[in-house]
Structure 1
Amino acid sequence: MGPKAVCLIISCTLLAWYMHTTFSANFEQPWKLMLMDSSLKILQHMASLLEKLGLMSFWDFLHILMRWQIVEPISDENVTVTDAIVKDVLVRYYVSKKKSHELKRAIIYFHGGGASFGTIALPHYDVFARLAANTLDAVVVGSDYRKIPKYHHPTQWSDAYDFLKSFLQPETLAKYGVDPTRVCILGDSSGAAVAAAMTQQVMGDPEIPIKPKAQALIYPVLQMLDTDMPSYRENEYGIMLPKSLLIKMMSEYLGIDESLEQAMKSNQHIPAEYSHLLKFVNWSTLLPERFKKGHVYTERIYGSSEIVKKFPGIVDPRANPLLANDSTLSLQPLTYILTCQYDILRDDGLIYVSRLRNNGVQVFHEHIEEGFHGSLMCIHKPFDLDLGWRLVGKIISWINENL
C-alpha cells in the first residue's frame, strides 16, 4: 500500500470520527452540514493564523470572503430590487410587483454576522427577501451598518436607528406604498439584537409617529453579561457558532482588548457594582425547567471596575436588549422568537420570551429541536438544507398571519 493510499485512509477515518462525535442522528442531512461547518471552521483558523502573523485582522479576512459572495440588486418578474447608500451605509429595497388596491406590508430586516462580516446583500438574505416580498406582497428593506474592527458600539446602533427614523415617516412609507399599521421589524442573530434594540427604542420614542405592529427575532443574541448559561456550556464547541468565535465577536464589538476577551471567556467581566443587572439574565429563575437539565447556577466571580469604565457598552441596554427594564418591555409589540436547541444563544431567546410574557407582551415562541445557529443561512445552493427552508416557511407564515 502506497503513502497516498495510507493518507487517504487516515483522512477518511478522521472524517468519519469527526462525523460520529460531532454530528449525531439529531441532525438532518448530516454530511452536508458537516462539510459546511468544517469549511467555516477552516476559514476561522485561517483568519486567526493571518491575524497572528500580522498580515491582516481576523475580520478583514472574512470581509474579503464576503465580498466574493455579494449579490447584485437585480430585479425579476416578481420583485423590484434597488440599492441606496444612506450616510455611507447600504440599504436594499425589495418591492413586490403585485398589482393590488391595498397598501403593502413592510418588513425591516437587520442582518446577522456579529456586526463583523455580514451584509444584506449576501445570497441567503437575497433569497429570503425576494420570497418574503413576493409571498406577502410586501416591501422588504434591509439596512447594513458599519462593521468591526474599524467601528465599535454604539456606531452600529446609531446607523440602524438613523435609518429606522428616516424610514418610519409617513412620507417615506407612502413613497413605497406601505400601510403604516402593518410594519414588522425582523432580524437574525446579531441582527436580531439590533431589531430588538430598535423596537425598544422606537416604541418609547414620541418623535417617531409610526410604531411597528410586530417584531420577529431569529436566534437572537441579547446579552453579554453571562457567558456561562446552560446553552453556552452545551454548545461551547457547537455548530456554526462556537463559544470562542462568539466571545471574539462580542468583545471586539465593544473594542479591541485581549484582556476583555479573556475576562468574558471566564465569565469574570462584570464588576460587583453592576451585579443588580444580573437579575435580568438570571437563567436559574427565567429559564424553563426543561432547559436547565441539571445545570447549577454558580456564584459569580466579579471583574474589575475598569472594564465598564473602558467599555461601557457591556452594560448598555442598546447592546444588551435583555437589560431593558420592565416598563420598557411592557411597551413591546406582538413578538415572534425562534430558538434552536443546538445553539449557544438558545437561552438568550428563551429568557426574553419569559421576560416579555411576564410584562404582558403577546409572544409566539418557536423552538426547533433539530435546529442550530445559522440555520436560516441554509437556503441557497450549494448550502441549502431542508431545515433552512422549513424555518423560512415558518417565519413567513407567521408574518402572513399576524401582520
Structure 2
Amino acid sequence: MGSKALCLGLFCALLASQIYIPIPGNIEEHWKVMALEAAIKTCTFMGICLENIGIMKYEEFISIVIRLDYTQPVSDEYVTVTDTVFTDIPVHLYLPKRKLETPRRAVIYFHGGAYCFGSFKQTAFDMLNRWTANKLDAVVVGVDYRLAPQHRFPAQFEDGMAAVKFFLQNKILTDYGVDPTRICISGDSSGGTLAAALTQQVQNDLEIKHKIKVQALLYPHLQIFDSYLPSLRENEHGVVLTRDMAIKLVGLYLSEDETFPKALRKNQHMPLESGHLFQFVNWSTLLPKKYRKNHVYIEPILGTTSYSLPELMDIRLSPLLANDSQLQNLPSTYILTCQYDILRDDGLMYVSRLQNVGVQVAHEHIEDGFHAALSYMASPLYLHLGLRIRDMYISWLDKNL
C-alpha cells in the first residue's frame, strides 16, 4: 500500500510540474486561463506518455479529445447550416435566411489547429461562422482541409486552393447570391497561414477572374525560417502554445525525419541555398523597436542538415517569404496579434512588409492576448478575450468588406 501511495504521489508531482506555468498578471479572467492551461498541459502530458509507452501517437490522442467537441450542422432561425463539398473538399456552409435584397458578401474561413487538428465541427468555429453569417448577412464557407501527419504539406494548401477556385466560379457565386467584388479570405493561427498563402496565390494568378477584396489574419503563423524570434524566446513556455509543442507539430506537418525537429529547435534547419530569403524575415529590421527590446539578432545557421526539404523555402508554407512584387497585389488586410503568443512577431513582420509595399493594413495588437483565444469563447470557458477578438474581427469586416 505504501509503495502504491508513493508512486501515486510521484506521478501527481510529475504531472503538477508539467502543467504549472505562471500566467501573466494582466491577463483577464485569470482563474479561467489557469484552468485552461492546466487542461491543455494535462492532455499534452498524457498524449506524450501514451506515445512513449507505445499505446497511441500523441496526435491521435489529442484528436480524440478535440473530436469530443464536434457538433452537427444544425440550422437556426437566422442561418441555414449544411455540410457539402466543393469538388471533393468538405465544407461547412452558412447561408443567412434573410430575404436577399442585393448580392451578399462572402467569407471563406480556414480554422486553426497547427495543421494537425481541428474542424468546423468544433463548437467555437461553428459559433464564429454562424455569428459572421448573421451579423454581416454574409455567406460563410468553412473549409475542412486534410490534416497532418496523414496528409503533409502541401495537402492543406491544395485543398484550400481547390475550394476557393470552386467557390469563385460565376455559377457558384450566382447560386449563393454572392457579390464577386466582396469576398474575404480569413483564418486563425495555421488557418491564417493558409489564408495568407491562398490570397497571395489568387491575387497573382492571372487565370483567376474574381479576386479577393480583403484578407483577415488572426494571430497567423507566417514563417518557419527563423525559430529564434523575440516572441518565440519570450513566450517559449507561454500560454496554450509553447515553442516545444509548436516544433513538434511543425515536424508532424512537414516530415517524418526525426532530425528535422531537432534542427528546428537549434535554428539550424534551413538549407544553404535559402540565404537570399534572409531579408524577408530579418526581425532586426522588420520588427518595431518596441518588440525588439534587448534581444540580440542571431542569424539562422544554414546548410548543416542531412535531410532534403525544399518546401522550407516555399511561400505556400511561409507567406512571409514572398517577394515585394508578389505582396504589392494583395488586398486590404487585417492582422491581429497577441502579446503572449510565440507567433506574435510573424504577424508584426507581415504588417511591416505589407506597409512597405503600399498595401493598406489594419493592425490590432492585444496586450493581454494569447494564442488561439477564439477557440475558447464557447462552453465551458466563454473567455472574454475570445469574444473580444471575434467582435474586433467582425467590426473590421463589416466596415471594409
Is the TM value for this pair above 0.5?
yes
- Distance, in Å, in 2 between the alignment partners of 1:33 and 1:313 is 36
| AA partner of residue 222 (structure 1) | L
TM-score scaled to structure 1, two decimals? 0.93
* 1:136-151 alignment runs, 5 A limit: 136-151=136-151
Paired position in structure 2 for 1:173: 173
Cα offset for 1:130? 0.8
Cα offset for 1:216? 0.1
Q: CA RMSD in A?
A: 2.2
* 1:44-63 alignment runs, 5 A limit: 44-63=44-63
Segments of 5+ residues of structure 1 without an aligned counterpart are: none
Cα offset for 1:227? 0.4
Paired position in structure 1 for 2:116: 116
1:13-33 Cα distance to aligned partner (Å, 9 max, x none):
x989x87x6113211001111
Cα offset for 1:98? 1.4
Contact 2:167 2:173 in 1 (8 A): yes
- Distance, in Å, in 2 between the alignment partners of 1:130 and 1:293 is 40
Question: 4+ runs of 1 displaced by more than 3 Å?
Answer: 85-89
| AA partner of residue 385 (structure 1) | L
Alignment partner of 1:344 out of 342, 345, 349: 342
SS of match in other structure, 1:344? coil
Paired position in structure 2 for 1:323: 321
SS of match in other structure, 2:83? strand
Paired position in structure 1 for 2:36: 36
SS of match in other structure, 2:145? coil
Cα offset for 1:87? 5.4
- Distance, in Å, in 2 between the alignment partners of 1:363 and 1:189 is 18
Cα offset for 1:381? 1.3
Segments of 5+ residues of structure 2 without an aligned counterpart are: none
Cα offset for 1:299? 4.0
| AA partner of residue 41 (structure 2) | K
1:288-321 Cα distance to aligned partner (Å, 9 max, x none):
00001110002432243643xx222111111010
- Distance, in Å, in 2 between the alignment partners of 1:101 and 1:86 is 26
| AA partner of residue 319 (structure 2) | P
Contact 2:247 2:261 in 1 (8 A): yes
- Distance, in Å, in 2 between the alignment partners of 1:154 and 1:219 is 21
Alignment partner of 1:369 out of 367, 370, 376: 367
1:306-343 Cα distance to aligned partner (Å, 9 max, x none):
43xx2221111110100111100000000000000000
Structure 1 residues 15 and 248: CA distance shift in structure 2, 3 A = closer
Contact 2:87 2:162 in 1 (8 A): no
Q: Percent identity?
A: 49
- Distance, in Å, in 1 between the alignment partners of 2:272 and 2:100 is 58
Contact 2:89 2:162 in 1 (8 A): no
- Distance, in Å, in 2 between the alignment partners of 1:86 and 1:148 is 20
Cα offset for 1:257? 1.7
SS of match in other structure, 1:121? coil
Tell me if 1:394 matches 2:388: no
- Distance, in Å, in 1 between the alignment partners of 2:232 and 2:147 is 25
Cα offset for 1:54? 2.2
1:120-160 Cα distance to aligned partner (Å, 9 max, x none):
11110011111110010011101111111111111111111
**Number of positions where the alignment pairs a residue of Structure 1 with one of Structure 2:** 394
